[in-house]
């Protein structure tokens, strides 16, 4: 749109350095505590190590998640497309206060859970993806990012929605999460209903969820040997979903 200036101006053309524009386009970050790294023994006896993805690992994750777009079952195509955009938004600094947790078994990518801080009080669950079957990997990764949001980042509420039936059953139903009235309140992932966990509900009900469902809990005192085995991210050669 163009309008003539309402007064005389001495310069009718202005130029901007992109470094001046970037602060207007990049979300101002909250002061977020890092995920402290954790491990858990899975139902098959293997040790899953959960750490934050490194920004330099984003291209590797993008190349793998992109393969999900060709999977036409269980909503992996739409989940893959959205996770791809979320990782890219993190990589290009176009997503406000994101976090990406990855679950590794001897360096191999076994699970991914991401989210972001909407505000200092509300954390938003984005997606949970699993690449190892039969060990309730989704349960572990979803719990880990919920723990991160409520226990470490200090959010008072955790908001989720679900695209797949499996995700809805795993977290929405089995955690008995209440919903906010729809369509008055909508989740940012397509305007779906918001399922939420308050800090009070977390403390009274869900905090013991992993011990009930998996038989073990997150351990934050991770031996150096486990850390060393998982320093380098290895993505599967094929799509394992």
Q: Is residue 15 part of a domain?
A: no
Q: Is residue 212 part of a domain?
A: yes
- Residue range(s) defining the domain that contains residue 142: 35-229
pLDDT of residue 121: 98
pLDDT of residue 186: 98
Q: Is residue 28 part of a domain?
A: no
Q: Is residue 90 part of a domain?
A: yes
Q: What would the two tokens of residue 139 be?
A: 């349960």
Phi/psi of residue 175, nearest 5 degrees = -95, 0
- Which of 86, 89, 66 has the alpha carbon at shortest distance from 77? 66
Low-confidence ranges of the chain (pLDDT < 50): none
Q: Is residue 130 part of a domain?
A: yes
pLDDT of residue 231: 92
pLDDT of residue 75: 94
Distance CA 153, CA 83 (A): 22
Q: Is residue 10 part of a domain?
A: no
Q: Is residue 135 part of a domain?
A: yes
Q: Into how many domains does the chain fold?
A: 1
Q: Is residue 236 part of a domain?
A: no
CATH at 50: 3.40.630.30
Cα 82 to Cα 64, 86, 87, 149, 151, distances in angstroms:
13, 6, 9, 20, 26
pLDDT of residue 241: 73
pLDDT of residue 214: 86
Overall pTM surpassing 0.85 (yes/no)? yes
């Amino acid at each position: 749109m163009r309008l003539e200036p309402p007064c005389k101006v001495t310069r009718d053309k202005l130029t901007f350095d992109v470094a001046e524009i970037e602060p207007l386009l990049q979300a101002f970050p909250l002061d977020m505590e890092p995920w402290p790294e954790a491990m858990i023994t899975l139902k098959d006896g293997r040790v899953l190590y959960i750490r934050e993805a490194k920004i330099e690992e984003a291209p590797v994750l993008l190349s793998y998640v992109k393969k999900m777009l060709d999977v036409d079952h269980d909503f992996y195509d739409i989940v893959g497309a959205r996770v791809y955009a979320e990782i890219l938004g993190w990589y290009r600094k176009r997503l406000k206060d994101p976090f990406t947790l990855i679950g590794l078994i001897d360096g191999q990518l076994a699970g991914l859970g991401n989210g972001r801080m909407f505000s200092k009080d509300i954390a938003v669950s984005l997606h949970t993806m699993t690449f190892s079957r039969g060990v309730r990997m989704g349960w572990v990764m979803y719990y880990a990012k919920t723990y991160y949001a409520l226990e470490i980042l200090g959010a008072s509420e955790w908001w989720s929605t679900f695209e797949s039936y499996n995700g809805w059953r795993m977290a929405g139903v089995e955690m008995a999460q209440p919903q906010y009235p729809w369509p008055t309140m909508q989740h940012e992932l397509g305007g779906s209903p918001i399922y939420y966990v308050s800090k009070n509900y977390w403390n009274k009900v869900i905090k013991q969820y992993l011990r009930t469902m998996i038989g073990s809990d997150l351990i934050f005192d991770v031996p150096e040997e486990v850390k060393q085995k998982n320093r380098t991210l290895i993505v599967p050669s094929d799509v394992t979903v």
